[in-house]
Amino acid sequence: MLAPLIAARIKELNGGESSGGDCPGDGDAEAGIAPCAMWQATCGPDVSWEARVQQMAMCTACGGRGPKKEGEIIPIDGDAELMVASIERLVNKRDSGFDISPETLSPLEFELLMVWDSTVKEYERVNQFLIKESLLALVGITKGRK
């Protein structure tokens, strides 16, 4: 429940839009809504909705929520938002050099810090890949001009 909210907050901090928006799922050609490539790549159309949503857990486009079913409203609990803000404060405190001892954290805080860190590392891996691909494309372009 909290992992998608953490992913959404990290996406927002990395310059992406807040994932308060919904995943377009299979899209809607009539409305001009493009499908979500990640949603379509998760598995074939014969797989259950629940299985597809579980496989979307690390999607950065929708924060892992996947598309809503027709007419479905997904509430965001105020307590969950407060917990994500609390974890962000702990991360900022730790990154500022203050000692965050695991003994002072609740088991939930400890797990959420781990989720935060693994999500940040995922963003770093994606960014490194994109930089590498951009540089390779640039080298390919410059070699073609000689």
**pTM listed for this prediction:** 0.56
The H or E element that residue 107 is part of is helix 107-145
| C-alpha torsion angle, residues 103, 109, 115, 119 (rounded to 10) | -100
Contact between 86 and 9 (Cβ < 8 Å): no
- pLDDT category of residue 33 using cuts at 50, 70 and 90: low
Measure the CA–CA gap between 56 and 64, rounded to whole angstroms: 5
**3: amino acid identity, one letter:** A
Contact between 68 and 22 (Cβ < 8 Å): yes
Q: Which residue has the higher pLDDT, 11 or 112?
A: 112
Q: What is the pLDDT of residues 55-95, one digit of tens each?
A: 666 565 565 555 555 554 445 567 888 888 999 999 999 99
